[in-house]
């Protein structure tokens, strides 16, 4: 993990199509002084969307842009609104997480430094969201519309957040409000597979990114895909690694999803 105050908020690769992929939770970076303040339950950054950026590697071949966060969600959660308003009626984490998904403390002591949070908001949260805004505007100006896919993953069982076992593929559209109905239908149909279970707008309907940027009436469409980590990781390790066999199979489904978004795009041009 990185522990630097001058670490860029994100890595960005421009695309050549109307599709932008956002990966807000795979970052491992921390600010100075944070690592030694992590509790024993949080020191391995367990709530990371492990290796989602690697899972989507190669999408540039399809012309999709990629925006990947560098900082850990324990620094700031980029998929929460700036005012930290509650996104779900059920349990969820906040803008500046103080507990892990298993309800253990993240920090040995909770900082009261408002100045640091202001710096984080400006230089990390706002920087990431401003880049999404700029890129979606550029895409829309060029193609007449833009599509944002917010890419996530999570452990299959997280009792602090939901009951039971999470479906493998969880597509969120904010109950149909963040994207065109035809785009949602095509995307969800592309996820049908004998290998994976799927759900539309189940436990994960989309966070602040999907809800904030998805404005289909303005020709900007946003979807969130939350993937169970059991479908592509070796989960036994504290720092999970890609399971090459599982990931290869899953990438075929992701490829179908991205192709469906591109096909819908082609139909709108």
- pLDDT tens-digit map of 88-143: 656 677 899 999 999 999 999 877 677 889 999 999 999 999 999 999 999 999 99
Q: pLDDT tens for residues 53-81? A: 999 987 778 999 999 999 999 999 999 99
Residue 266 predicted with pLDDT over 60:
no
Return d(Cα 140, Cα 176) in angstroms, integer.
Answer: 21
Residue 3 predicted with pLDDT over 60:
no
DSSP H helical segments within 148-233, as ranges? 181-190, 208-213
Stretch among 6-10, 226-230, 235-239 having the lowest mean pLDDT: 235-239
- Our measurement of the distance from residue 15's CA atom to the centroid of its chain's CA atoms, rounded to an integer in Å, reads 18
Instruction: Return the residue matching tokens 């795009």.
Output: 265
All domains of the chain in start order, with CATH: 10-268 (3.40.630.40)
Q: How many helices (H) and strands (E) does the chain have?
A: 6, 9
Whether the CB-CB separation of 56 and 21 falls below 8 Å is answered with: yes
pLDDT-derived band of residue 267, with 50, 70 and 90 as boundaries? Answer: low
Q: What is the pLDDT of residue 150?
A: 98
Residue 2 predicted with pLDDT over 60:
no
Structure letter (DSSP) for residue 128: H
Q: What is the pLDDT of residue 88?
A: 65
Sheet containing strand 65-69, edge to edge, reads 10-13, 65-69, 19-23, 146-154, 220-228, 169-172, 198-200
Mapping DSSP to helix (H, G, I), strand (E, B) and coil, where does residue 51 land?
A: coil
Q: What is the pLDDT of residue 269?
A: 45
Whether the CB-CB separation of 195 and 165 falls below 8 Å is answered with: no
């Amino acid at each position: 993990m990185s522990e630097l105050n001058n670490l860029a908020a994100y890595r960005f690769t421009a695309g050549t199509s109307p599709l932008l992929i956002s990966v807000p939770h795979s970052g491992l970076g921390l600010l100075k002084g944070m690592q030694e303040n992590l509790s024993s339950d949080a020191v391995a950054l367990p709530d990371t969307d492990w290796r989602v950026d690697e899972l989507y590697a190669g999408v540039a071949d399809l012309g999709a842009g990629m925006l990947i966060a560098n900082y850990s969600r324990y620094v700031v959660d980029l998929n929460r609104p700036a005012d930290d308003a509650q996104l779900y009626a059920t349990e969820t984490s906040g803008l500046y997480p103080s507990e892990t998904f298993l309800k253990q403390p993240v920090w040995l002591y909770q900082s009261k430094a408002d100045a640091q949070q202001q710096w984080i908001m400006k230089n990390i949260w706002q920087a990431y969201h401003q880049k999404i805004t700029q890129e979606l505007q550029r895409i829309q100006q060029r193609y007449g519309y833009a599509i944002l896919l917010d890419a996530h993953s999570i452990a299959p069982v997280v009792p602090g957040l939901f009951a039971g076992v999470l479906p493998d593929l969880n597509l969120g559209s904010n109950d149909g409000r963040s994207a065109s109905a035809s785009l949602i239908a095509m995307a969800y149909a592309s996820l049908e597979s004998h290998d994976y279970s799927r759900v539309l707008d189940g436990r994960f309907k989309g966070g602040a990114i999907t809800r904030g940027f998805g404005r289909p009436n303005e020709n900007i469409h946003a979807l969130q895909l939350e993937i169970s980590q059991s479908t592509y990781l070796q989960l036994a390790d504290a720092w999970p690694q890609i399971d090459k066999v599982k990931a290869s199979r899953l990438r075929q489904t992701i490829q179908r999803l991205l192709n469906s978004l591109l096909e819908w795009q082609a139909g709108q041009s």
